[in-house]
Amino acid sequence: MISLPHQKYLIGQCSVNCHDMTISKDENVVTLPAKVFEFLKLLILHANQTVTKDVAIEQVWLGNVEVGKRGTGNAIWQLRKTVSELGEEPEHYFKTITKIGYQLLLTPEAIDEESYQPAAVTVDSYPPRAHAIFKPVIALLSLMLFTSLGYMFHSFYLPSSQLEALTVERITNFEGVEEQAAISPDGRFMAFQWRRELKKAQIYIKDLTDKSAPLRQVSMSEDKETSPTWSPDGQALAYFSFNASGQCELHVRELITNQDRLIDTGCTSSGYVHSLDWSPDGKFLAYAKAGEASVAIYAYSFASSEISQLSYPNTGEEDLLVSWSANSDEFAVVRSVAMDASIIVLSRSNDSVVKVVESETMVISLEWEHDANMLYFNALRDGAFVIEQYSFESQSITDFHRDDTISSLAINEKNNRLYYSRHLSQEHITVHSLTNGQVKHRLASSSRDMFGQFIASSQEVLFLSNRSGGWELWVNQDAGSKQLTQQMGIVGIPAASPIGSQYVLPIKAKDADSYSLYLGDVATESLAKIRGIKGDVRNPSFSNNGSKIYYSSNLEGHWGVYAYDLNSQRVEFMFGQAAKYAVEDDVGGLYYTRDNQAGIYYHANDGSEDIQVTSELSSSDWGSFFYQNNALYFIKRTDTNDQVIAITADGQQHTVFSLPAVSIRGQRALAKADDESVVISMLGINDADIYSVSLAARH
């Protein structure tokens, strides 16, 4: 056992208590496993010095090399995760010295035993932290959208200014991401997606009645598996499987015989959205499939083996979330365009389509509770995700539960509880050298900073952040960071001019039906709407000389790329192709991505046919590419690495540098800086656990 001269220490904003092996901050307390706490004591004993792995194995794991190798990695992960759960930045506390060991970066201060006041609330059963209201989620990802059926009046929202905290029970606490919970019909088992470091996401089953029971892995495939859903008799699971090229397959696995059956291909999902549901009568599987210009819900009939389309979204709309009603006739769908979402209810027996929830921002989960006939969904409210409750009886929406970075939902009808995933989200921005990948500058805070854009004239970085509570545009300057927008509406991802100090920003103003482009100037702190641009605009970029703004827009149901000339103030249509984001090369051609399609395409300015340049950019990384120094740069993801790839003018491809897998966030995470640098939006700890709360508390 490691011996310390004192029993209580203050490290940064966190208190360490050797009596009960806890770390605490304010009213939140985390109890550490014995070996992890011994490892922390070793770091405290050698603060500001490197503790080698060999020393840790010898002193904490008593020389057991094989156990110690795994133990040191798990211990530093647990310490970083704990500090994050307490609202601190782990990078300020711990440093990993690659292949050597670890450092505690802060100097511990001994706490007087008489003045120490222990906190009383634990993380395993706690009321949500007060700051959870102000710390939002976008990550994950970029996605979801929906509508409902059968009712004549629009729903109305009943805000809960002082939402009574619900008691939260932690269900999982594994290393990595536990997501997409699905509860068996008898309430005994939970299927979920588990993604561990250097491994693809796989489906596992946890016994909710026996905490000591081992997890069961559903399949042993090498593919990514998502969206588990139970058969009504609890004897089978349906799920999506994505192969190495990103192609989706719908499978059903019999749990007793372990037989697996391929149902369909061409299915789709995004992030941790649950895009698959089994009807309560057992007759149908409803799931999302991508078309050329939209995502719709389809149904597979077990009786006839036929596949039919159930929803008919317009061009650019995506129906990614689906949940059946108790009678297996109606089903709720989230319909979205970018961040705008509504919930509709449709029917298999007729063509009725009823919108029950509209004008939401980023709905990323949906569950239909059958006993009380309620919809539960997770939407963005004032910069934070909140679980909402929709009543069909009163046609009203009320806040149900708040917590940090809530993601997917599941309902256990047997014990009347709601399950949800809670992520640790710590996005930050780094500027990397394109020569060797080294970090030249880091922009981080206790909030979430992302989508950095480099201002060449001043060497400053534009970025989105929730530092002020909601998502706003900020700029990082020598004197610190300054907020540029203030409650103007929903802000999109900015683009900075390659010359001067101008930038362009999509904003959906309050009470507006769509996004508009605003032209700003960091030097003068001006920001004004650009007139004459039509449609629901998205994803701007500047031409190389800064005279044009390229953007995508939806006119008459068709998405395409347009160019706005800042001098003539005229708009020119460039091309359609369901184009999502485009950047210019040195000869006036455009590299671009297409909605819901992997890869980067090239549109030449000589009228020749468009070509695909690479298929290796994921559709979820649609904006993570740029053109610079006669080369196209983009993100390629593997099981072990996130790679920055360059394709040179002669068509040769090489890896510029690599980072650990899932360390770069999705969407538009890459932006060019100066000629030798790149701005990257980074993820912090990649971790999510599953929690549950009682539904009875709000009924």
Greatest alpha-carbon span in the chain: 80
pLDDT of residue 125: 37
Indicate whether 252 pLDDT > 80. yes
Provide the phi-psi class of 498: left if phi over 0, else alpha when psi is between -120 and 50, else beta: alpha
Confidence grade of residue 69 (pLDDT, cut at 50, 70, 90): confident
Cβ neighbourhood burial of 568 (10 Å; 0-12, 13-18, 19+): exposed
- Asked if the model's pLDDT at residue 400 lies above 90, the reply is yes
Do the Cβ atoms of 409 and 388 come closer than 8 Å?
Answer: no
Highest mean pLDDT among 86-90, 312-316, 421-425, 451-455: 451-455
Q: What is the CA radius of gyration of the chain?
A: 25
HSE (side-chain half, CA atoms, 13 Å) at 405: 25
- Asked whether the predicted pLDDT for residue 345 surpasses 50, the reply is yes
Mean pLDDT computed over 95-100: 80
pLDDT at 165 over 90: no
Which of these ranges, 56-70, 181-195, 510-524, has the smallest mean pLDDT? 56-70
Average pLDDT over residues 292-302: 92
Domain 8-110 fold: Arc Repressor Mutant, subunit A (1.10.10)
Residue 80: phi and psi, rounded to 5, are -65, -40
Using CA atoms, how far apart are residues 363 and 356, in angstroms rounded to an integer?
14
Name which of 581, 337, 552, 566 is nearest 451 in CA terms.
581
- Confidence (pLDDT) at 382: 65
Residue-wise pLDDT for 538-586, tens only, equals 999 999 999 999 999 987 777 899 999 999 999 999 998 889 999 999 9
Calculate mean pLDDT across residues 629-658: 93
What confidence score (pLDDT) does residue 145 get?
A: 27
Residues 6+ apart with CB under 8 A from 669: 450, 451, 621, 623, 624, 635, 680, 681, 682
Reference 73, options 205, 202, 175; nearest CA is 175
Give the residue among 167, 78, 89, 118 at the shortest CA–CA distance from 448.
89
Residue 131 φ then ψ, to 5°: -75, -5
Q: Average of pLDDT values for 138-166?
A: 42
- 682 has which bridge partners? 428, 664
Domain 425-685 = CATH 2.120.10.30: yes
Report the SS3 class of residue 36. helix
Least confident segment among 24-28, 62-66, 458-462, 625-629: 62-66
Q: How confident is the model at residue 466 (pLDDT cuts 50, 70, 90)?
A: confident
Percent of the chain at pLDDT > 70 equals 90
What pLDDT score was predicted for residue 221? 86
Contacts of 577 (CB under 8 A, 6+ apart): 560, 592, 594, 601, 603, 610
Give the mean pLDDT of 106-118.
Answer: 71
Residues paired with 474 in a beta bridge: 463, 483
pLDDT of residue 104: 94
**Mean model confidence pLDDT for the chain:** 87
Report whether 132 contacts 403 (CB < 8 A).
Answer: yes
Tell me if 8-110 shares its fold with 425-685.
no
Of 88-102, 283-297, 318-332, 356-370, which gets the smallest average pLDDT? 88-102
CA–CA dist 16, 491 (Å, integer): 40
pLDDT score recorded for residue 68: 82
Exposed e or buried b for every residue in 124-157, given b needs 16+ CB within 10 A? eebebbeebbbbbbbbbbbbbbbbbbeeeeebee
**Domain boundaries in the chain?**
8-110, 168-415, 425-685
Give the pLDDT score at 133: 33
Task: Indicate the pairing of strand 495-496 with strand 611-614.
Answer: unpaired
The larger pLDDT score, comparing residue 246 to residue 651, is at 651
| pLDDT of 41 above 70 | yes
Confidence band for 64, pLDDT divided at 50, 70 and 90: confident
Helices 65-85 & 34-45, crossing angle to 10 degrees?
A: 80
The CATH number, out of the four listed (3.40.50.720, 2.120.10.30, 1.10.357.10, 2.60.40.10), of the domain defined by the range 168-415? 2.120.10.30
Where does the pLDDT of residue 122 fall: very low under 50, low under 70, confident under 90, or very high at 90 and above? Answer: very low
pTM over the 0.85 mark: no
Residue 28 has pLDDT above 50, yes or no: yes
Which residue spans within 566-614 are E strands per DSSP? 571-575, 579-584, 590-594, 600-603, 611-614
Lowest-pLDDT choice from 325-329, 357-361, 499-503: 357-361
For residues 177 and 315, what is the distance between their CA atoms, to the nearest angstrom?
A: 33
Q: Do 631 and 649 touch, CB atoms closer than 8 A?
A: yes
Give the mean pLDDT of 658-686: 87
Compute the distance between CA of residue 357 and CA of residue 432 in angstroms, rounded to an integer.
Answer: 43
Which residue's structure tokens are 């799920």? 239
Residues 6 or more apart whose Cβ sits within 8 Å of residue 607: none
User: In this predicted structure, what is the pLDDT of residue 251?
Assistant: 97
Per-residue pLDDT band at 116 (split at 50, 70, 90): very low
Collapsing DSSP states into helix, strand and coil, what is residue 540?
Answer: strand
